[in-house]
């Protein structure tokens, strides 16, 4: 779920050294691997892998055929049931055994095949058909995340054809429900793979870079942490009665009072290695009040007032603490009756390391004065930030600078969630290392109308993954 990817990069990486903007002119690939990538990309975009349409297995089978034709035969399509009623989907897993075993644990390459829905009447073109215009590829999933699926697929096929001999096992996971339930990643982390054999994972659904329209680079981020997703129901109940005889207590009012307290509440501020690095870089170019607040908070992590100033910035919101917000509301059963129930969904994005039980206890304290019941919708899956490993960060930096010399490289914490959290939860470090870039804010269209991806970014990303795999799964350089 690479939502607001460019915005997140911009928040951490504003105003780096001047570097020329990459050319976005329409291009026909001369490289045969790029030509093959465009073919697979077009086929992938044409399959509407939307939850409920039953087309995920079709794409998984197609990718399996591509891998097997390229000599990577240990590949499995895994249909599975998901949490949505009467629905199922599929994942693809692959193992490329080490040709020259070094004793190092395996690396896992991750992406997701599913996309959010897109209606033809909402788009200026057919969303499930790869379009090309003005230096861009258009179509649902061109950015989120079929470019990642294609890049990993093509990188492995190219490396295999060129005789690359990995010195550790390479594993692949393409899931079919990242945008909804996340059951594929949960199954993979708990059943399909032995996580004790995995050194780390590289996630194509996070990371990446951005430029301003005038060519100013905003830099590239490597995602090393993400917040933990958790929904809660807030339920107020009441005996009700006839609306002509109002009671002193009312379910809707009780819920409203509770939500007002929630709106005002601020969880304690928290930091980790990733957010400290993000904000330390941001302070260089922030406006003076924000810069002063960042310096104060980095010096004193308990300075809640400074954290509040940071949270008030539109680009830094969510970086200093757990945040909970009401997202859905329902109540009452008839226009002339007092409500017997009122209910809200509250969505929390918990800071890595924040105990979900503690969050639940706080929410119940907030709801207590009005006797509003609070219950978690699903079990939270807490995950700590991944350490800034020198080998992974170094490989990412080298590959980005090979195509974008001089741009800033900064760790990122996603305020949203990806499949990576299930592996972090099992103790596997996960790194969002996508190199895809776009123009901010005009290319921030994932999940939206006329989603698009610069053609040059698409082709560069394939070469980026080739380089990442060579550096991290081959002999030491």
What is the arithmetic mean of pLDDT over 363-382?
93
Question: In the predicted model, is pLDDT for residue 26 greater than 80?
Answer: no
Residue among 467, 448, 474, 459 nearest 6 (CA):
448
Question: In the predicted model, is pLDDT for residue 90 greater than 50?
Answer: yes
pLDDT confidence of residue 12: 44
pLDDT in tens, 257-271: 999 999 999 999 999
H or E element in which residue 79 lies: strand 75-81
Count of CB atoms within 10 A of residue 402's CB? 13
What is the arithmetic mean of pLDDT over 45-51?
95
Which residues pair with residue 107 across a beta bridge? 170, 200
Do 214 and 234 belong together in one domain?
A: no
Do 281 and 186 belong together in one domain?
A: no
Do 417 and 325 belong together in one domain?
A: no
Question: Considering the chain, what is the average pLDDT of its residues?
Answer: 91
**Dist. CA 370–CA 76, nearest whole Å:** 52
Question: In the predicted model, is pLDDT for residue 25 greater than 90?
Answer: no
User: Which of the pair, 362 or 20, is modelled with greater confidence?
Assistant: 362
pLDDT confidence of residue 441: 86
pLDDT confidence of residue 6: 44
pLDDT in tens, 382-441: 888 999 999 999 999 999 999 999 999 999 998 888 999 999 999 999 999 999 999 988
Question: In the predicted model, is pLDDT for residue 131 greater than 70?
Answer: yes
Do 51 and 195 belong together in one domain?
A: yes
pLDDT confidence of residue 16: 38
pLDDT in tens, 143-163: 999 999 999 999 999 999 999
| Count of domains for the chain | 2
Do 91 and 159 belong together in one domain?
A: yes
Question: In the predicted model, is pLDDT for residue 476 greater than 70?
Answer: no
Do 25 and 163 belong together in one domain?
A: yes
What is the arithmetic mean of pLDDT over 88-93?
94
What is the arithmetic mean of pLDDT over 339-347?
98
The whole domain housing 392 covers 5-226+384-473
User: Which tokens go with 400?
Assistant: 């980005």
412: helix, coil or strand? strand
Do 207 and 221 belong together in one domain?
A: yes
Tell me the pairing of strands 409-414 and 217-226: parallel
Which residues pair with residue 137 across a beta bridge? 132, 453
pLDDT in tens, 258-315: 999 999 999 999 999 999 988 998 887 789 999 999 999 999 999 999 999 999 988 8
Q: Are 174 and 113 in contact (CB under 8 A)?
A: yes
Do 306 and 455 belong together in one domain?
A: no
Predicted model pTM:
0.86
CATH number, domain containing residue 238: 3.30.70.360
Last residue of a domain, one of 376, 409, 439: 376
Alpha helices for 83-240 (secondary structure H): 146-161, 183-187
Do 169 and 280 belong together in one domain?
A: no
**Dist. CA 44–CA 383, nearest whole Å:** 31
pLDDT in tens, 6-20: 444 444 444 333 344
Question: In the predicted model, is pLDDT for residue 331 greater than 60?
Answer: yes
**Dist. CA 199–CA 426, nearest whole Å:** 12
pLDDT confidence of residue 445: 87
pLDDT confidence of residue 85: 61
Residue 343 burial (CB < 10 Å; 0-12/13-18/19+)?
Answer: middle
Last residue of a domain, one of 376, 405, 435: 376
Do 212 and 66 belong together in one domain?
A: yes
CATH number, domain containing residue 99: 3.40.630.10
Percentage with pLDDT > 70 across the chain: 93
User: Which tokens go with 139?
Assistant: 């179509």
Do 48 and 88 belong together in one domain?
A: yes
> Which regions of 176-262 does DSSP assign to beta strands (E)?
198-211, 217-226, 228-237, 241-242
Question: What Rg value do the Cα atoms of the chain yield, rounded?
Answer: 23
User: Which of the pair, 20 or 230, is modelled with greater confidence?
Assistant: 230
Last residue of a domain, one of 327, 346, 376: 376
Question: In the predicted model, is pLDDT for residue 82 greater than 60?
Answer: yes
Do 214 and 241 belong together in one domain?
A: no
Residue 253 burial (CB < 10 Å; 0-12/13-18/19+)?
Answer: middle
Tell me the pairing of strands 88-96 and 170-175: antiparallel
Q: Work out the pLDDT band at 195, boundaries 50, 70, 90.
A: very high
């Amino acid at each position: 779920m690479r939502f607001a990817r460019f915005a997140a990069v911009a928040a951490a990486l504003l105003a780096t050294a001047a570097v020329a903007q990459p050319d976005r002119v329409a291009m026909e690939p001369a490289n045969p691997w790029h030509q093959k990538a465009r073919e697979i990309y077009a086929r992938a975009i044409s399959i509407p892998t939307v939850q409920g349409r039953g087309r995920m297995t079709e794409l998984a089978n197609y990718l399996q055929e591509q891998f097997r034709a390229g000599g990577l035969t240990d590949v499995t399509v895994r249909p599975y049931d998901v949490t949505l009623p009467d629905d199922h989907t599929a994942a693809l897993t692959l193992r490329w055994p080490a040709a020259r075993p070094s004793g190092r644990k395996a690396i896992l390459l991750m992406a997701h095949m599913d996309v959010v829905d897109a209606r033809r009447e909402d788009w200026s073109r057919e969303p499930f058909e790869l379009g090309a215009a003005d230096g861009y590829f258009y179509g649902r999933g061109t950015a989120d995340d079929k470019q990642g699926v294609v890049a990993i697929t093509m990188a492995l096929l190219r490396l295999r054809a060129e005789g690359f001999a990995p010195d550790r096992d390479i594993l692949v996971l393409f899931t079919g429900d990242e945008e909804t339930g996340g059951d594929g990643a949960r199954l993979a982390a708990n059943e399909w793979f032995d996580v004790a054999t995995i050194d780390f994972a590289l996630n194509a659904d996070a990371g990446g870079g951005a430029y301003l329209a005038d060519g100013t680079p905003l830099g590239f981020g490597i995602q090393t942490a993400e917040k933990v997703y958790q929904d809660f129901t807030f339920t107020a109940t009441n005996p009700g009665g006839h609306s002509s005889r109002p009671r002193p207590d009312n379910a809707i009012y009780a819920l409203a009072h509770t939500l007002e307290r929630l709106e005002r509440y601020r969880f304690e501020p928290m930091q980790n290695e990733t957010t400290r690095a993000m904000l330390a870089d941001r302070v260089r170019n922030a406006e003076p009040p924000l810069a002063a607040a960042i310096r104060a908070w980095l010096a004193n992590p308990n300075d809640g007032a400074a954290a509040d100033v940071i949270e008030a910035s539109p680009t830094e919101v969510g970086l200093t603490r757990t945040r909970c917000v009401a997202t859905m509301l329902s109540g009452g059963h008839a226009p002339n009756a007092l409500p017997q129930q009122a209910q809200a969904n509250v969505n929390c994005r918990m800071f890595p390391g924040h105990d979900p039980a503690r969050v639940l206890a706080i929410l119940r304290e907030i709801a207590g004065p009005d006797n509003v019941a609070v219950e978690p919708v699903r079990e939270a899956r807490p995950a700590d930030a991944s350490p800034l490993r020198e080998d992974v960060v170094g490989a990412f930096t080298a590959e980005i600078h090979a195509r974008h010399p001089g741009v800033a490289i900064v760790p990122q914490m996603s305020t949203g969630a990806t499949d990576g959290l299930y592996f972090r939860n099992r103790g596997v470090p996960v790194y969002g290392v996508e190199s895809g870039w776009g123009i901010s804010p005009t290319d921030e269209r994932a999940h939206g109308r006329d989603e698009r991806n610069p053609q040059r970014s698409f082709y560069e990303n394939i070469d980026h993954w080739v380089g990442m795999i060579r550096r991290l799964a081959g002999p030491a350089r």
